[in-house]
Structure 1
Amino acid sequence: MKTSYLKIGICFSLLAGAINTVSAQKKNDFGNPTLTHYLNDEKTRSISFSGYAEIWARYAELNPGSLVNGEQVNSISDLSLRRVRVKMAYQPTENFTFVLQGGLTNVNVASKTTPAFELLDAYAEYKFSDIIAAGAGRSTWRGLSRFTTGPLNTLLYDLPSYATGNAGISDETVRELSIYAKGQIGKLDYRLVIADPYTNVSTDPQYNVAAFSKTSPNKDYSGYFKYEFFESENNSSPFHSGTYSGKKKVLALGTGFEYMHNALWHLDQTKSTINDDEKSFAVDLFYDTPINKDRGTSFSAYAMAMNNNYGPNYVRYSGVSNPASGVNTAASSLNGAGNNSPVIGTGNTYYVQIGGTLPYFNKDKNNLQLQPAASVMLSDLDGLHDKALTYDAGVSLLMNGMSSRLTVDAQNRPIYTLNNAGLADVSDRKWQFVLKYRIDFN
Structure 2
Amino acid sequence: MKKMYLIAALLLLSLKCFSQGSPDYGAGMKFNFNEDGSKYLRVISWAQFWAQYNSDRPLDANGNEQGDLDFSVRRARILMYAQINKDFLILTHFGLNSLNSNSLSPTGTGEGSQLFLHDVWAQYSLGKNHAIGGGLHYWNGISRLNNASTLNIMTLDNQRQSWATLGLSDQFGRHIGVYAKGTIEKLQYRISINEASTNNLQSTTVPTNGGAATFTGRRLLGSKEAGKTFAGYFEYGFLDSESNFLPYKVGTYLGSKKVFNIGAGFSNQPNGAVIADNSGNLSGENVFIFALDAFYDVPMGTKGAALTAYALYQNSDYGKNFRLGTTYETGSMLYGHVGYVIPGKSKTRFQPYASYNDRKIDALNDNATQFGIGTNAFFSGHNSKLTLEYQTLKYATNKAINTVTLQAMIYL
Give the TM-score of the pair, scaled to structure 2. Answer: 0.87
Residue in 1 that maps onto 2:157: 158
The alignment status of 1:303 with 2:311, answered yes or no, reads yes
What letter is aligned with 1:128? L
Deviations 1:178-221 (A, max 9, x none): 11000000000000011112122231112331111132341111
Residue in 2 that maps onto 1:108: 100
**Where in structure 2 are the equivalents of 1:366-381 lying within 5 Å?**
366-381=346-361
Closer, same or farther in 2 for the Cα pair 1:179/1:105, shift >3 Å?
A: same
Residue in 2 that maps onto 1:182: 181
**Where in structure 2 are the equivalents of 1:9-408 lying within 5 Å?**
29=22, 31-33=24-26, 34-62=28-56, 64=58, 66-67=59-60, 70-73=62-65, 76-113=68-105, 114=108, 115-151=113-149, 152-199=151-198, 200=200, 201-202=202-203, 203-206=205-208, 207-213=210-216, 214-215=219-220, 216=222, 217-292=226-301, 294-317=302-325, 342-360=326-344, 363=345, 366-408=346-388
CA distance in 2, matches of 1:181, 1:397: 37
Closer, same or farther in 2 for the Cα pair 1:97/1:287, shift >3 Å?
A: same
Closer, same or farther in 2 for the Cα pair 1:198/1:62, shift >3 Å?
A: farther
Deviations 1:371-401 (A, max 9, x none): 1111111101201232110111100110001
Closer, same or farther in 2 for the Cα pair 1:63/1:267, shift >3 Å?
A: farther
| 1:303, distance to aligned residue in structure 2 (A) | 0.3
Please point out which of 406, 409, 412 is paired with 1:438: 409
Residue in 1 that maps onto 2:5: none
**RMSD value over aligned CA atoms?**
1.8
CA distance in 2, matches of 1:182, 1:30: 29
Deviations 1:226-246 (A, max 9, x none): 000001111111110111110
Runs of 5+ consecutive residues of structure 2 not aligned to the other structure: 1-16
| 1:144, distance to aligned residue in structure 2 (A) | 0.9
Deviations 1:314-342 (A, max 9, x none): 1222xxxxxxxxxxxxxxxxxxxxxxxx2
CA distance in 2, matches of 1:89, 1:32: 18
Runs of 4+ in structure 1 displaced over 3 angstroms?
61-64
| 1:300, distance to aligned residue in structure 2 (A) | 0.5
| 1:270, distance to aligned residue in structure 2 (A) | 4.4
Flag the structure with higher helix content: 2
| 1:142, distance to aligned residue in structure 2 (A) | 1.2
Aligned with 1:426: secondary structure? coil
CA distance in 2, matches of 1:239, 1:247: 17
Aligned with 1:236: secondary structure? coil
Figure out how many residues of one structure are paired with residues of the other and give that number. 376
Q: Is contact 1:149-1:163 (8 Å) kept?
A: no
Identity rate of aligned residues, in percent? 30
CA distance in 2, matches of 1:355, 1:316: 31
Give the TM-score of the pair, scaled to structure 1. Answer: 0.81
| 1:36, distance to aligned residue in structure 2 (A) | 1.1
Q: Is contact 1:62-1:74 (8 Å) kept?
A: no
| 1:77, distance to aligned residue in structure 2 (A) | 1.2
Q: Is contact 1:180-1:192 (8 Å) kept?
A: yes
Deviations 1:348-389 (A, max 9, x none): 1110100021123xx2xx520111111111101201232110
| 1:74, distance to aligned residue in structure 2 (A) | 5.7
Deviates more, 1:208-217 or 1:222-231: 208-217
Aligned with 1:31: secondary structure? helix
CA distance in 2, matches of 1:32, 1:399: 12
Runs of 5+ consecutive residues of structure 1 not aligned to the other structure: 1-25, 318-341, 416-424
CA distance in 1, matches of 2:68, 2:215: 31
Deviations 1:132-179 (A, max 9, x none): 201111122211111113334111110001111332222222122111
Closer, same or farther in 2 for the Cα pair 1:255/1:436, shift >3 Å?
A: same
| 1:119, distance to aligned residue in structure 2 (A) | 2.2
